[in-house]
Amino acid sequence: MTTTASAWARGPRITRRAQARLGVLMVAPAAVLVVLFFVFPMLNAVYFSVVAFDGLTPNPPFVGLDNFARLFADPAVANGLGHNLLWVLIGTVSPIVLGFVLALLSWSVGRVGVLYRIAFFLPHLIPGVAIAIVWGWIYDPLSGWLNQLLRTVGLESLATGWLGDPRVALFAVLATAIWAHYGFVYVIFLAALRNVDVELLDAARIDGANAGQRAWFIVLPQILPVFLMVTTITLVGGFSVFDIVFVMTGGGPAGATDVLGTLAYTNAFELANVGYGTAIALSITVLSIPFVIVLNRVQRRMLEGQS
Amino acid sequence: MSAVVTPVAQLTGDGTGTRSPAPRRRSRLGALRHVVLVPLALASLFPILLIVSTALRPARSVTVDPFGFFDAVSVENIATAWTTGRFGEYVGNSFALTVPATLLVLLVSVLAGYAFARLPFPGRGALFGMIVIGLLVPFFTYMIPLYFQLKGMGLLDTYLGAVLLLATGVLPFGVFFMRAFFTDLPSELEQSARVDGCSEWQIFWRVMLPLVLPGVGTLAVFAALQTWNNFLIPLLFLPGGSFRPLTTGLYLFVGGRTIDVGPLAAGTLITILPIVVLFIVLQRQVVSGFLSGAVKG
């Protein structure tokens, strides 16, 4: 370290220059990795979506927006998009309701709260493949626990091959996804509840508000920004769902669980329609953007209102 | 972008919630809550317990009676999975991918996070935006072109390529997360170090970095979990089978032959055990990592 005097002598402009130089150097590794493995493939994705690329032929022919036009006429895409919308709806509402109710219930349980957090959050940490395997056992038509449970309680008529029956397969996969991820919503709400004004709650109780009224009128408005954030995450997740469907059913039986993500994968890697598959994948991202923007706007307004 | 992120700051602390300021309720209602919570907690844990139970049952009883639950204990399945199922090899590969990728995330994120927080340079905002936009774009949007790009670069099916990709996958979060930590440090610290004659690098290395080590720890846990669980990167970009980690090993084990439930359960247990142990030991770090990563979903 040099003396105090020399530091003063250097003056702020030299400091600024030294900061800028060091800053660029320190950011460089991250920038290189992101440009190479994110920005570049994203630009390539745009290029792929306007050519008819089969994955092998170099210099594929330019087809303009044909891949996107084809999307609108493709019944498989309509089918997949319908499943995505269902996923967005059910996959957003159920984890939020479950997570919120559970967070309220376990809000002030003291030490055992740790145990509840382990139980509810652990599924969120398990890799999708492991989730698919164990739920495959639960849903198995013959040796599955779910059918066994139904037989035990006398609802044998409802027993089916959950992942093989086109009428229920999508809901079976969706239920698994909800099991896997509501714990994430739960810990977010639990953290948000710590900022709730307790005095208001006490006042409401004295005024005779019941638990439901207190949750709806006192707690909910105070954590609304967090509520919107969670909604944004689950909505976008509903559009971009891929892993869990891919490992559980691969989109089958006969497209019954296909979503846009699995269609993109199948087209690109199994049907050699790389251009078309990429166009589907890009469309998913584009579809979810308006939701993100609208929800962010509302959320920002609320945060401003609060402060 | 920043608006999605803002409420995360509201989730102060580690979000553990055990020291909630919530009022103590009447005990009657308190007991009633557990009546609802306990069955749901057990239902939530059941699939995980089913993995453990099936893995630990003797191979024959798994086939004969699929509905036994912790009725007998044997390491038979684990031994089969470890050797015949090659899960011993996959464990090694999972570590060989996770450890360097996590270290790379830490190194690169700490450096960039500090620069984005405290060292002004031209184009800083735009560059930060370019990096963190990755939090909002699902991986499969660009995984198809990435496959062909890696093929062209000679990085497809290489250890180096897989580690770099795994690290880049967590990088947007890492940079965003470390920047938040460095931004929160008081600027008086920086100024007095400068007055004492520290160079800009010394300010970072000796003064600021030691103060964010808890954050680095949280990021390490989060990055390790994400990398360990990553499925698509090894599936698509390590197709040859060398360096195959547990997740893809498990997937191919299912697809391979008539499924042997016992060893499959054992393989699943081997895959999730490090995660379960890590979570139970380091709960706070795990949960707070995910809370700050809420943007990622």
ipTM: 0.86
**Structure token digits, residue A131:** 């989730």
Q: What pLDDT is recorded for position A307? A: 52
Q: Mean pLDDT lowest for which of A174-183, A237-246, B257-266, B268-277?
A: B257-266
From chain B residues 147-166, the ones with a CB under 8 A of any chain A CB are 148-149, 164-165
φ, ψ of residue B138 to 5 degrees: the values are: -65, 145
How would residue A270 be classed by pLDDT, with cut points 50, 70 and 90? Answer: confident
**Residues of chain B with C-beta less than 8 angstroms from the C-beta of A229:** 4, 7-8, 294
Residue with tokens 């790009």: B149
Question: For B86, left (φ over 0), alpha (ψ -120 to 50), or beta?
Answer: left
Does B281 touch chain A if contact means CB atoms closer than 8 Å? no
Q: What pLDDT is recorded for position B10? A: 42
Q: What pLDDT is recorded for position B40? A: 92
Q: Mean pLDDT lowest for which of A219-223, A242-246, A291-295, B94-98?
A: A291-295
φ, ψ of residue B170 to 5 degrees: the values are: -95, -10
From chain A residues 45-64, the ones with a CB under 8 A of any chain B CB are 45, 47-48, 55
Q: What pLDDT is recorded for position B28? A: 59
A152 pLDDT higher than 50: yes
Contact B203, B274 (CB under 8 A): no
- Nearest Cα of chain A lies from the Cα of B263 at a distance, in angstroms, of 12
**Residues of chain A with C-beta less than 8 angstroms from the C-beta of B134:** 34, 38
Residues 6+ apart with CB under 8 A from A302: A224, A225, A228
- Nearest Cα of chain B lies from the Cα of A164 at a distance, in angstroms, of 16
Type of residue at A46: V
Cα A220 from chain centre: 22
Does B121 touch chain A if contact means CB atoms closer than 8 Å? yes
Please give the residue that has the higher pLDDT: either B296 or A79.
A79
Distance CA B279, CA B123 (A): 39
**Alpha-carbon distances, residue B214 vs B40, B96, B105, B181, B285 (angstroms):** 33, 25, 15, 10, 9
- Nearest Cα of chain A lies from the Cα of B58 at a distance, in angstroms, of 17
Distance CA B167, CA B230 (A): 11
Distance CA B106, CA B291 (A): 18
Task: Report the pLDDT averaged over residues A143-165.
Answer: 87
**Structure token digits, residue B2:** 């920043």
Helix ranges, B57-157 (H): 59-64, 76-83, 87-118, 124-132, 140-153
- The greatest distance separating any two alpha carbons of chain B, rounded to the nearest whole angstrom, comes to 76
Max mean pLDDT among A199-208, A252-261, B98-107 falls in: B98-107
Q: What pLDDT is recorded for position A80? A: 93
Average pLDDT, chain A: 86
Type of residue at A93: V
Could you report the average pLDDT of every consecutive run of 10 residues in chain B (297 residues)? 38 42 54 87 93 87 79 85 89 96 97 95 93 85 90 94 96 93 90 89 93 92 94 92 91 73 90 93 85 55
Q: What pLDDT is recorded for position A11? A: 57
A64 CB neighbour count, 10 Å cutoff: 9
**Structure token digits, residue B191:** 């100024």
Nearest alpha carbon to residue A84 among A170, A164, A182: A170
A281 to B140: CB separation less than 8 angstroms, yes or no: yes
Contact B215, A36 (CB under 8 A): no
- The pTM of this model reads 0.87
A32 pLDDT higher than 60: yes
A296 CB neighbour count, 10 Å cutoff: 19
Distance CA B110, CA B108 (A): 6
Choose, out of B141, B247, B271, the residue to mutate when testing the contact with A (most A CBs < 10 Å).
B141
Task: Report the pLDDT averaged over residues A142-152.
Answer: 87
A182 pLDDT higher than 70: yes
A62 forms beta bridges with A51
Q: What pLDDT is recorded for position B158? A: 95
B33 to A191: CB separation less than 8 angstroms, yes or no: no
Query: What percent of chain A stands above pLDDT 70?
Result: 95
